[in-house]
Amino acid sequence: MTVLADVERVDESWRSWTGAHGGLLAGIALEHAGRRVSGLPARALHVSFLAAVRSDEVRVSADLIKAGRSSSTVTARLEAGEKLALLATATFGGGDAGPQSPALPLSDIPDVEDLEPFTLPPGLVPFAQHIEFRPVGGVPLSGGDSPVLTSWVRLVNPPARPESAATVLLDVLAPALYATRTTPVPIPTVELAVHFTEAAHTFNAGEWAFARIHTEHASAGWCVDGSEVWNRNGDLVATGRQTRRILEA
């Protein structure tokens, strides 16, 4: 059964080049999906971005598709004006004892307190005002050799749901191709897949986290970016993969 659509405000300060920030919209969809399976951690989120959101309000609804013993599935819809802007499928499930992956050796990465803040040019991407950046490797529009960007990041006012905050942070670094370019061009996300670890469920995005984005391949006006977020203890929080269009003039 579809729940009645709730209205959510999307402040203009969260705009990117082509509309509202995709990670923020995905996080909103996840928050609403999670209300259908109260108390269960999010494990994965798959999002299709169908239209840019330029209005200051969106309507969000969610359907519980499956309530299982080991996992549950919820779909969410986000509408802006008369358009369906986003479709999402979220997977939720409890945890059991099992193997753990090793933490990232943050001792090999410069400490955030030893790095200088980085501020994007005013007006380029308004949503950046909600994030603090301390770049580690690669700077957007620097004409580097490798399509990789790494930075310490934190949100000024994180969403209430930790996994939604992690989703936002997976999408706050510039498209990784910007590391090799000297001029900006819109590279909007068409599809986003996010996978959460156990650390995501207690993640505090108001504290510093380490983020990395890299272009896996690019051709024919399309590219795929992979991204990761670790907490300051070096625990992997979430991974993402984005299919993007490269809108050259």
Q: Is residue 185 part of a domain?
A: yes
The span from the CA of 96 to the CA of 89, in Å, is: 23
Residue 153 maps to which CATH number? 2.40.160.210
* Sheet (strand 209-219) strand order: 6-9, 57-67, 72-80, 83-92, 42-49, 189-196, 236-245, 222-230, 209-219, 148-155, 131-137
Domains in the chain: how many in total?
A: 1
pTM: 0.94
* Residues 2-56: tens digit of each pLDDT: 455 799 999 999 998 889 999 999 999 999 999 999 889 999 999 999 999 999 9
The span from the CA of 9 to the CA of 241, in Å, is: 26
Q: Is residue 1 part of a domain?
A: no
Q: Is residue 118 part of a domain?
A: yes
Q: Is residue 104 part of a domain?
A: no
pLDDT of residue 136: 95
Q: Is residue 100 part of a domain?
A: no
* Residues 137-150: tens digit of each pLDDT: 888 888 999 999 99
By residue range, what is the domain housing residue 50?
6-93+111-245
Weakly modelled stretches of the chain, pLDDT under 50: 1-2
pLDDT of residue 102: 73
Q: Is residue 99 part of a domain?
A: no
pLDDT of residue 163: 98
Cα–Cα nearest to 87, from 49, 36, 57, 52: 49
